[in-house]
Amino acid sequence: MESLSFDLSQTALREVNQFLHGADLASKVSKVSITQPDGKHAIAAGLNADVEVEIDGHAGYYAAGMNQLARVTITGSAGTGVAENMMSGSVHVKGFASNAAGATAQGGLLVIDGDAGLRCGISLKGADIVVGGSVGSFSAFMAQAGNLVILGDAGEALGDSIYEARIFVRGKVKSLGADCEEKTMGDAEKKILADLLARAGHKDVSVDSFKLYGSARTLYNFHVDNAGAY
């Protein structure tokens, strides 16, 4: 099947995204390469086709946002909101990801080889995120479902107001947010972690080197004694 390449220094981003949103895209091409992205915003956002997209360079805000089915690779770094509200498919950032990576993502897999900024996985709703480096403060804030795997360290207020998402951290945690606590990692959680590490290219990393964090469930219902934590 055909592969196509677009140079964003020669072709307008709107034209490229319109092509990517075209009907029956997966029947026409198997891979789309985008070169000279130069930090442009919303590259390959809103995809809904089982195709491979490679962004060769640095992407701006909301790259691969709302992704469905597509497999998007960013060879450089990504700005705020990469893979925001992803539904399925995968997004792989080979560099650094800025703030709110994977925000509200409901499905699929986001892999970040480098560090991630503030609020990584904020309001996560079912997707999986694997960060090869460290994450900033307030990561997994109000995360409702899914998994956040951090091979490095975590900043302040990790998992603040978390619901039923899981956070696996290999490094140090500066502080935990409201209602987040360390959990015992059983066989089921180890299996989930091992699968995510393998899918993200870290299959040789031991699951026993991680700690598990999740909700203490004290904020599910209002209680006056917890008023200061809301």
Chunked into runs of 10 residues, the chain (230 residues) has average pLDDT values of 91 96 90 97 97 98 98 98 98 98 98 98 98 98 98 98 97 97 98 98 97 90 58
What are the start-end ranges of the E strands in the chain? 2-7, 29-35, 52-56, 71-74, 90-93, 109-112, 125-131, 145-150, 166-169, 180-183, 211-215
What pLDDT shows up at residue 178? 94
Give the containing element (helix H, strand E) for 34.
Answer: strand 29-35
> What are the extents of the domains in the chain?
1-114, 116-230
Nearest to 29 by CA among 21, 39, 37: 21
What pLDDT shows up at residue 226? 60
What pLDDT shows up at residue 227? 56
Distance CA 216, CA 213 (A): 9
Most distant CA atoms of the chain, gap in Å: 62
What pLDDT shows up at residue 15? 97
Nearest to 82 by CA among 125, 53, 120, 126: 120
What pLDDT shows up at residue 28? 86
pTM (predicted TM-score)? 0.95
Nearest to 165 by CA among 146, 187, 188, 142: 146
